[in-house]
Structure 1
Amino acid sequence: MALSVRGSTLKTLWKLNGFLKTFPACSIAVRLFGQPAPQTHPHLLNTGEVTPGISKEEFEFRRNKLANIISAHDAASTRGDESKNHLVIIPGAPVTYMSTDVPYVFRQNTDLLYLTGFQEPNSVLVLEVGRENKKPVYTSFLFVPKKDEKRELWEGLRSGVENAPKLTGIENCQNIDDLEKYLESYLRRNRIFTLWCDYARPVNRELHDGVISKFIQQQRHLNIYNPIRRVQGIRIKKSEAEIRLVKQSTKIGAQALTEVMKYSYPGVNEAHLYAKMDFECRVRGAEMLAYPPVVAGGNRANTIHYISNNQLVHDSELVLMDAGCECHGYVSDVTRTWPVSGKFTEAQREVYEAVLRVQKQCIQCCVAKSSLDSIFQYMLKQIGLECQKLGILPRHLYGAELSNQARMICPHHIGHYLGMDVHDTSLMSCSLDLEPGMVVTIEPGIYLPENNLSIPEKYRGMGVRIEDDVLITSHGPEVLTSLCPKEPDDIEALLKSR
């Protein structure tokens, strides 16, 4: 995977590079940018888009909205030492390595990606926010990796300050090596200002320790706030363009998991189901899986985040698969549980249908003014009632005591926000009122470990979870992953068609 090139081989590579310079018509489009662009990937992006489906204007609208929120902090503050000038620093992710010269697949910090669309590592967005005539004004600066032919030969193209403005629409682009000089200049020009950066959990530790922390130390009376909560407050509600991308990702994820279900059979290796999901997502246009999938046969489904995926699923067992994909920056997250034999046993169907009833009831709660926390409390009550019917929980329990016992049966929350990350906008409280434009997951489960001798023997060793992605709309919940069957009769019919 990692190559070591010396002597004549390196000379050959440099000759090829020289050829491309000599005959620019062969390469001019592909050598402009370090990421897909309308000029190089017209099958993915339309003119004016920075990332597929998202225009330069929308990215600028997002930066403008953040600047207005930052500026409004002055009026909301009760402290007397707040400044009218603000400096916002949002770094991109660095490249991380699994071993020497072998990098992990790069994924951009989604807060920077949301505001710029720029996908190259070790980049930084800086916003200078101020006020003129009592109105907020701001200037965007994008610091990007410097073009370097030798590095690009090994690591891929860079847009550089020459082409990053054409790609992003941000005119003020500078080399990342000049960030320290820029910050020193800003400090000379602005004796009093408020700094916004995530100093507690820096995305790029090397950049933070080498540049940003030194900048903070130079101004001892600096007011510092974390901008990420403000960014995520904007991110939590999706625009029409974002909703289209979420729908594309959830459609791919649902279709892919359907194919995985059809592919399964008694004795199948969990790793093969993983590979099938990855393949089916990619051939439909997804760039990657959204997270390491859970592929858990039998009792292993009672480990909520089981990702070893290295066992066989036997004829009598259910398999629980929790998987999703990332498509153009937006992700899906769907879970299905099914019998690899093709038919539920009576006990399996009883538990499965109990979870399905709870899930359907919780989806109906996904309306404006509800919240994930309130739906979670409702889920616990309904799981408790279902488990009482099955004889899993005593019938004398009720109220808070029943909910507490149900929490032992389902130890995780009902769901989470979904968007550019799987657990999207993680700083946003689950107690927030749901609003049109939000996307959430609804994923109740019943987990019955085989060593739990307090439950009826016929149910031991089962773990069932059903998860769908739900868009909140003004007319009610819209299930985005409905293409993947979840009715037990539909699942059995699908498996019969294998």
Structure 2
Amino acid sequence: SGCMSCSQRRYSLQPIPERRIPNRYLGQPSPFTHPHLLRPGEVTPGLSQVEYALRRHKLMSLIQKETQGQSGTDQTVVLLSNPTYYMSNDIPYTFHQDNNFLYLCGFQEPDSILVLQSLPGKQLPAHKAMLFVPRRDPSRELWDGPRSGTDGAIALTGVDEAYTLEEFQHLVPKLKDETHMVWYDWMRPSHAQLHSDYMQHLTEVKARSKNKVRAVQQLVQRLRLIKSPAEIERMQIAGKLTSQAFIETMFASKAPVEEGFLYAKFEFECRARGADILAYPPVVAGGNRSNTLHYVKNNQLIKDGEMVLLDGGCESSCYVSDITRTWPVNGRFTAPQAELYEAVLEIQRDCLTLCSPGTSLENIYSLMLTLIAQKLKELGIVKNIKENNAFKAARKYCPHHVGHYLGMDVHDTPDMPRSLPLQPGMVITVEPGIYIPEDDRDAPEKFRGLGVRIEDDVVVTQDSPLILSADCPKEMNDIEQICSRAS
């Protein structure tokens, strides 16, 4: 899998012909309408047409590798956008694009299709990129806002050709041909309606031929696993603004305080600093509720003397952050809280030192379990750990993994195993925790009902790891100082 170092290769890409962006509003920000967000030539903030073209080029290179020895076949990749989802009658959720589709073209409208097609008589990775997009429709645009249309889609994204969505039906019959290999995620289509309208019959026909439809998402995930310098810059921005939001939320803590208030404060501070949305429903868990790993009700009162565990992140220009901090809402750690907190912090520091090329998330997980077992013994939470029971004890008090890949998704590239050797450009989370439920009769009483997790976002580099969440305080002194600073 040498492909993962693709970013080091020199590609000879044709210069993208300059197409004038229409001087009207499109279905997403453009350098013309939003010059404060996008520089000329950018499709999404910080990411240029050249970067998107390079991604498509690399995908076709991977397909070339996968199909060596199969001469005489044409290759076509089909990716569907997401649909608009509805919360209830007539009330749409905020639209979020399918991230594999978005990664390859940057187009932000629903009901669209991206096609990458090999060129007759030319070798891969040479290809043409086509978008099929919703047609301009003044009556719909009056209600839902402007659409980019075919001219806007081409000029903004830099693909070779664009057509209205309906025109996709003329392409489908050609794909049925025996000599045509189609790459398309038919097992989990991102748009059920487009799948049944255009792709389902094709998939069934191909299933009976020697050229079955092949899934493409694993190949896209292999590319998404390694971030480019521009992607890392986006993730640094997300990490910085989330860290600032944490500081302001710590400062706004008081005792007693509603979980809902801290949730609102955190979301406000993220969005006020330029985040688009929160990356996921945050966990704002006071007291013993911190022992429910995905507690998202966030509707209880946190009492004086209790800690809050806040696991939150935002999405900024298509990239996300995912940070966890735990602190006492009254601004002062009690002795047992401090003991447990310091133990988790030491484990987290040790795990961070392992984030370098060659190790893997699995290796770091093993280290975390070893260190947790050691700390449980030191704190007297577990009395006599036999060698073979150490991991079992650690897993009882920390039932989750040490981390996951991070990128456009919170749980990024989910098909990529955690056993992969880390490489420069990979981004991971490191999030050890120790959770002691209040009804745990084995643990000393002073620790019961306490849960601590500390999570940072980390870029693997050739040198020491780059911590994207470095601005977010985690030393006890720093946290106590922020909580008690005068407004």
- Compute the TM-score of the two structures, normalised by the length of structure 2: 0.93
CA distance in 2, matches of 1:289, 1:130: 41
Q: Which residue is equivalent to 1:13?
A: none
Q: SS at the partner of 2:213?
A: strand
Contact 1:322 1:334 survives alignment (8 Å) = yes
What whole-Å deviation, never above 9, does each CA across 1:232-255 have from its counterpart, x for those lacking one?
Answer: 100111111111100000000111
Letter in structure 2 aligned against 1:262: F
Q: SS at the partner of 1:238?
A: coil
* 1:211 shift after superposition: 1.4
Q: Which residue is equivalent to 2:140?
A: 151
Q: Does 2:390 align with 1:397?
A: no
Q: Which residue is equivalent to 1:73?
A: 66
Contact 1:85 1:193 survives alignment (8 Å) = yes
Letter in structure 2 aligned against 1:463: G
- Residues 184, 134 of structure 1: CA spacing in aligned structure 2 closer, same or farther, 3 A cutoff? closer
- Residues 396, 288 of structure 1: CA spacing in aligned structure 2 closer, same or farther, 3 A cutoff? closer
CA distance in 2, matches of 1:185, 1:134: 19
Please report the RMSD computed on the Cα atoms of aligned residues, expressed in angstroms: 1.4
Q: Which residue is equivalent to 2:462?
A: 474
What whole-Å deviation, never above 9, does each CA across 1:443-465 have from its counterpart, x for those lacking one?
Answer: 00000001111111110001100
Letter in structure 2 aligned against 1:237: I
Comparing 132-141 and 373-382, the one that deviates more: 132-141
Q: Which residue is equivalent to 1:176?
A: 165
Q: Which residue is equivalent to 1:255?
A: 244
Q: Does 2:181 align with 1:210?
A: no
- Compute the TM-score of the two structures, normalised by the length of structure 1: 0.91
Comparing 474-483 and 457-466, the one that deviates more: 474-483
Q: Does 2:366 align with 1:377?
A: yes
- Residues 82, 405 of structure 1: CA spacing in aligned structure 2 closer, same or farther, 3 A cutoff? farther
CA distance in 1, matches of 2:455, 2:124: 46
CA distance in 2, matches of 1:41, 1:210: 35
Alignment of 1:345-360 (within 5 A): 345-360=334-349
Q: Does 2:234 align with 1:241?
A: no
Letter in structure 2 aligned against 1:434: L
| 2:216 alignment partner, one of 211, 227, 231 | 227
Letter in structure 1 aligned against 2:138: E
Q: Which residue is equivalent to 1:299?
A: 288
Following TM superposition, the consecutive aligned residue runs of length 4 or more in structure 1 with deviations greater than 4 angstroms are none
- Residues 233, 131 of structure 1: CA spacing in aligned structure 2 closer, same or farther, 3 A cutoff? farther
* 1:201 shift after superposition: 1.0
Q: Which residue is equivalent to 1:137?
A: 126
* 1:213 shift after superposition: 0.6
What whole-Å deviation, never above 9, does each CA across 1:189-227 have from its counterpart, x for those lacking one?
Answer: x43222111111111111112210112233420322110
| 2:307 alignment partner, one of 294, 299, 318 | 318
CA distance in 2, matches of 1:131, 1:342: 68
Contact 1:130 1:136 survives alignment (8 Å) = no
Note the residue ranges of structure 2 that are not aligned, 5 or more in a row.
1-21
- Residues 290, 134 of structure 1: CA spacing in aligned structure 2 closer, same or farther, 3 A cutoff? closer
Q: How many residues align?
A: 463
Note the residue ranges of structure 1 that are not aligned, 5 or more in a row.
1-27
Q: Which residue is equivalent to 1:418?
A: 406
CA distance in 1, matches of 2:484, 2:344: 23
Letter in structure 2 aligned against 1:200: M
Contact 2:186 2:203 survives alignment (8 Å) = no
Contact 2:135 2:165 survives alignment (8 Å) = yes
Q: Does 2:478 align with 1:490?
A: yes
| 1:337 alignment partner, one of 326, 336, 339 | 326
CA distance in 2, matches of 1:474, 1:72: 27
Identical pairs, percent: 46
Q: Does 2:29 align with 1:29?
A: no
| 2:427 alignment partner, one of 431, 434, 439 | 439
CA distance in 1, matches of 2:121, 2:250: 60
* 1:133 shift after superposition: 5.8
Q: Does 2:417 align with 1:429?
A: yes
Contact 1:71 1:130 survives alignment (8 Å) = no
Q: Which residue is equivalent to 1:18?
A: none
CA distance in 2, matches of 1:194, 1:130: 13
Q: Which residue is equivalent to 2:149?
A: 160
